[in-house]
Structure 1
Amino acid sequence: MRTLITGGIRSGKSAIAENLMGEGTTYVATSPSRPEDTDWAARIQEHRRRRPASWPTVETTDLPSALTALNGPALVDSLGAWLVALLDRLDAWDQPVAQWRGRLDDEVSALVSTWSTCSHDLVAVTDEVGFGGIAEHRSARIHADELGRLNQAIAGVSDRVWLVVAGQVLVVKDSS
């Protein structure tokens, strides 16, 4: 079973994803460390406190490899953080799209392929984009556009897609 859980910031999507998982779950954290950002560190600490201590944690930005190495179910939090790390690595924020589009598409295709063929139960958390206007800044537009494309691709090969609004789940897709 592959489930994509999407929603706005602080909508409750991570807590819902965590409650969906059971014993033996591997928590795959995709956000690079930012020791200088105390607000970010507090968010990470909140997630750590909430999940069971028995869950092993894999911190990586190489999500396809992490999914391939699994021995059981996993919760990925989050696709948006993974995408930011990838766009950073590709230096996409300051380069013309033509310089990084092909490499980004290859990385996303690898993730979608791994997600769709993984034999373990998977849950991924992602931010929903597109409820607002077009962002003023290029980096925000790139992030929103690419996360929207990534979310569509993962949703297309997921069994379930849930949208979380104010802590409430709306079922978008259920092929289970």
Structure 2
Amino acid sequence: MTAPSPAPTAHRTLITGGARSGKSVVAEHLLSGVPQVACLLPGPIPNAEADPEWAARIAIHQARRPAHWLTVETSDLATGIAEARGAVLIDCLGTWVTAVMDELQGWDAPESQWRNAFDARLAGFIRQWTLAAGPLVAVTNEVGMGLVPDYKSGRLFRDLLGTVNQAVAAASDDVLLVVAGRTLRL
């Protein structure tokens, strides 16, 4: 799969789009000529026995990336960016929101029990996103363009990721929307 993408001119780039739109391919292409890249992966660690579909999905991403890229599985994006040498690829912010909410046990808890901690994690990430030498590329899912989710957790995820996407976009030099493998600069 190839996805046309713009030349890597921006210091901080957010790439958004729907599921299976080609976002990760575009992100990897933007950093393809960079000698040192840290891939921050905040999603669940792949386990072929517990979730073979997730493990297969991650294996496809890993096989596409150059072998010399460093893989860091962490939900602490602020520290991951601060400790990275060279470029940073975050893939993806949707799995980060899920990981943070899991850590905070916030899915079923009242907002008053988790909101300050979530906002602090987001603020720390944005602070490092703006301070890092870069280049930095973050992949995220575009949410809120479809139906309102039936379940509270789905609505909460959509709302939180929408907030995260807005914050990262505001702190980015470039924002790209990927639709059907095509890249649009926003």
> What TM-score, normalized by structure 1, do the two folds share?
0.95
Contact 2:88–2:135 at 8 Å: present in 1 too? yes
Tell me by how many angstroms 1:141 deviates: 0.6
Give 2:132's match in structure 1, choosing from 118, 124, 129.
118
2:70 maps to 56
Residue type at the aligned position of 1:11: S
Give 1:26's match in structure 2, choosing from 4, 24, 38.
38
Contact 1:26–1:55 at 8 Å: present in 2 too? yes
Q: Does structure 1 residue 82 correspond to structure 2 residue 92?
A: no
Separation in 2 of the partners of 1:150 and 1:47?
Answer: 23
Give 1:5's match in structure 2, choosing from 15, 24, 40.
15
Q: Secondary structure at the match of 1:94?
A: coil
2:114 maps to 100
Separation in 2 of the partners of 1:56 and 1:38?
Answer: 23
Give % identity: 46
Q: Secondary structure at the match of 1:65?
A: helix
Tell me by how many angstroms 1:59 deviates: 1.2
> What TM-score, normalized by structure 2, do the two folds share?
0.90
Q: Does structure 1 residue 142 correspond to structure 2 residue 147?
A: no
Separation in 1 of the partners of 2:156 and 2:117?
Answer: 15
Q: Secondary structure at the match of 1:76?
A: strand
- The runs of 5 or more residues in structure 2 that have no matched partner are 1-10
Mapping of residues 37-56 of structure 1, within 5 Å: 37-56=51-70
Contact 1:79–1:126 at 8 Å: present in 2 too? yes
1:72 maps to 86
1:14 maps to 24
Separation in 1 of the partners of 2:178 and 2:166?
Answer: 16
- The runs of 5 or more residues in structure 1 that have no matched partner are none
Q: Secondary structure at the match of 1:103?
A: helix
Deviations, residues 19-38 of structure 1 (Å, cap 9, x unaligned): 11022112111112152111
Provide closer, same or farther for how the CA distance between residues 93 and 8 of structure 1 changes in structure 2, counting only shifts above 3 A. same
Separation in 2 of the partners of 1:133 and 1:98?
Answer: 27
